[in-house]
């Protein structure tokens, strides 16, 4: 799941805005928007600086975009209250903008940021609902690019709650559409879309492999991670994330030397770009690698670094959970019961929290996506009912006609019998009279 967070960093859209009286002119606004998006991928603090600069504008559209971006950035930094406040402000500024095509574009951007913020909080159901709203708004102005990004986000949501097949299906449909409609995108956009979707496919296949342990799924995962690196271009986060997962694949194939080398490469990339969530994952993976080979004293420093990053930056709760699991096991094997108990307690408390949350969100995501399926099912049932009802009515009419026909025949037969009896009686009477004569 830790991989999912980073994928969503790249599904932040651009939009054009009409000019009002403001302190940020359009050229500056476009530049700031690009910088917010660029540093969102590598340095959230720098991205926040540019969002705050944009927020000095008096243009409601600029203010909506800036506060939406800050809502997502602040949530990444673990500042939930401030994040919610900024998103509320963004919606408030949207309400002040007259209805127009541009308003719908800005609304879609704000919904995208709002969905990401809910995602980072672990509120998958709420995130899905916002993304679905974004699709509706984007559909009204036929913004295909925006719709693709929302759908890609939803595919990642599906992966995070275990809907691997659906995530793979959605991502394949997206990449197929992009390949067939290259003319809709600039060269830079094509690199961005393809690298992100290939990364999503690699992750979905990797998660599916973890669930099913089928080597073919691991081969597919490796293929798509390499494709993501090929198209990563100026997106170091995508490259680092893909390499981290290629290290995982090497480890599962028991190529431990390659895995160790790749993990250290990711550590260097993450340190260089201040990508603390990736750094946390790389440290954890190194600790996991060493402990699985019985090198406990070599593993512990990396696992402790994972813990420190979580405390300092709230960087990666899943890695923190797993880190404490392995530390508890290691200290137990090293006959250090107090430390073993300490980390087992951290693990159990956090596990209960995360498992309960994830199960709840899995139900929400499946239900919200199932609403359309439920509607389709109801329509199908209704159609079948109408068809069955028509058939039943036809059968009923047939049965009535058949019944009336039978009754008519019975009555006719009874009358014919009576006529025959009368004729027979008359004939017998005539014969008797003749005999008497």
As a CATH number, domain 254-335 is: 1.25.40
Compute the average pLDDT of residues 110-124. Answer: 90
Assess contact for 39 and 69: CB atoms under 8 A.
Answer: no
Residue 432's CB: how many other CB atoms inside 10 A?
9
Lowest mean pLDDT among 15-29, 112-126, 203-217, 326-340: 15-29
Q: What is the pLDDT of residues 273-324, one digit of tens each?
A: 878 888 999 999 999 999 999 999 999 999 999 999 888 877 678 888 888 8
**Dihedral sign computed on CA atoms, order 312, 349, 304, 121:** negative
Question: Is 287 or 410 the better-scoring residue by pLDDT?
Answer: 287
Same fold, 1-161 and 254-335: yes
Q: What is the pLDDT of residues 234-269, one digit of tens each?
A: 778 889 999 999 999 999 999 999 999 999 999 998
CA 49/CA 29 separation, integer angstroms: 14
Q: What is the pLDDT of residues 42-101, one digit of tens each?
A: 567 888 999 999 999 999 999 999 999 999 999 887 788 999 999 999 999 999 999 999
Nearest to 37 by CA among 192, 240, 241: 192
How many helices (H) and strands (E) are present in the chain, helices listed first? 17, 0
And the tokens for 50?
Answer: 């540019």
Q: What is the pLDDT of residues 159-207, one digit of tens each?
A: 888 889 999 999 999 999 888 888 888 888 888 889 989 999 999 999 9
And the tokens for 275?
Answer: 């990508």
The most confident of the ranges 18-22, 36-40, 280-284 is 280-284
Q: Which residue has the tokens 């530390």?
A: 327
**Which SS3 state, helix, strand or coil, does residue 141 take?**
coil
Assess contact for 321 and 350: CB atoms under 8 A.
Answer: yes
Evaluate if residue 363 carries a pLDDT over 70.
Answer: no
| Domain residue extents for the chain | 1-161, 179-253, 254-335
As a CATH number, domain 1-161 is: 1.25.40
Evaluate if residue 355 carries a pLDDT over 70.
Answer: no
What pLDDT, on the 0 to 100 scale, is given for residue 385? 37
And the tokens for 156?
Answer: 């990642």
CA 361/CA 120 separation, integer angstroms: 13
Compute the average pLDDT of residues 414-431. Answer: 57
Q: pLDDT above 70 covers what percent of the chain?
A: 75
Angle between helices 236-252 and 276-292 (to 10 degrees): 10
What pLDDT, on the 0 to 100 scale, is given for residue 29? 79
What pLDDT, on the 0 to 100 scale, is given for residue 184? 86
CA 14/CA 112 separation, integer angstroms: 11
Q: What is the pLDDT of residues 382-394, one digit of tens each?
A: 344 345 555 666 7
What pLDDT, on the 0 to 100 scale, is given for residue 187? 86
Angle between helices 215-230 and 187-212 (to 10 degrees): 160
Evaluate if residue 19 carries a pLDDT over 80.
Answer: no
What pLDDT, on the 0 to 100 scale, is given for residue 118? 93
What pLDDT, on the 0 to 100 scale, is given for residue 268? 94
Question: Is 6 or 117 the better-scoring residue by pLDDT?
Answer: 117
Mean pLDDT across the chain: 81
Phi then psi for 205, rounded to 5 degrees? -65, -35
Q: Is the pTM of this model over 0.75?
A: no
What pLDDT, on the 0 to 100 scale, is given for residue 14? 38
């Amino acid at each position: 799941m830790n991989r999912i967070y980073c994928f969503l960093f790249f599904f932040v859209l651009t939009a054009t805005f009409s000019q009002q009286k403001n302190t940020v002119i359009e050229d500056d606004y476009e530049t700031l928007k690009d910088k917010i998006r660029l540093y969102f991928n590598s340095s959230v603090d720098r991205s926040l600086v540019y969002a705050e600069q944009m927020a000095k504008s008096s243009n409601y559209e600029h203010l909506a975009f800036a506060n939406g971006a800050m809502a997502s950035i602040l949530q990444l930094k673990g500042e939930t209250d401030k994040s919610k406040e900024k998103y509320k402000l963004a919606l408030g500024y949207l309400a002040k903008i007259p209805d127009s095509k541009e308003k719908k574009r800005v609304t879609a951007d704000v919904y995208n940021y709002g969905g990401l913020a809910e995602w980072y909080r672990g509120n998958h159901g709420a995130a899905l609902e916002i993304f679905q709203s974004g699709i509706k708004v984007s559909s009204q102005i036929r913004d295909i690019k925006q719709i693709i990004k929302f759908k890609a986000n939803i595919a990642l949501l599906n992966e995070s709650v275990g809907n691997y097949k659906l995530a793979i299906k959605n991502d394949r449909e997206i990449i197929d559409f992009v390949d067939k409609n290259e003319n809709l995108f600039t060269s830079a956009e094509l690199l961005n879309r393809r690298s992100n979707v290939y990364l999503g496919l690699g992750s979905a296949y990797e998660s599916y492999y973890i669930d099913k342990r089928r080597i073919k799924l691991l081969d597919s995962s490796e293929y798509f991670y390499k494709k993501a690196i090929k198209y990563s271009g100026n997106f170091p986060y995508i490259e680092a994330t893909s390499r981290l997962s290629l290290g995982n694949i090497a480890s599962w194939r028991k190529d431990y030397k390659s895995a160790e080398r790749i993990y250290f490469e990711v550590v260097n990339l993450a340190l260089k770009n201040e990508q603390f969530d990736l750094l946390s994952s790389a440290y954890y993976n190194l600790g996991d690698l060493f402990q699985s080979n019985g090198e406990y004293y070599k593993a512990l420093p990396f696992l402790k670094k994972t813990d420190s990053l979580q405390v300092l930056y709230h960087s990666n709760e899943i890695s923190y959970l797993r880190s404490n699991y392995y530390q508890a096991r290691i200290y137990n094997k090293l006959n250090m019961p107090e430390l073993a108990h300490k980390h087992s307690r951290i693990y159990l408390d956090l596990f209960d929290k995360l498992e309960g949350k994830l199960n709840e969100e899995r139900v929400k995501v499946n239900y919200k996506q199932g609403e359309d399926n439920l509607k389709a099912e109801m329509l199908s049932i209704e159609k079948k009912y109408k068809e069955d009802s028509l058939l039943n009515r036809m059968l009923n009419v047939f049965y009535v006609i058949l019944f009336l026909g039978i009754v008519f025949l019975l009555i006719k037969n009874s009358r014919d019998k009576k006529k025959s009896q009368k004729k027979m009686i008359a004939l017998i009477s005539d014969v008797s009279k003749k005999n008497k004569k």
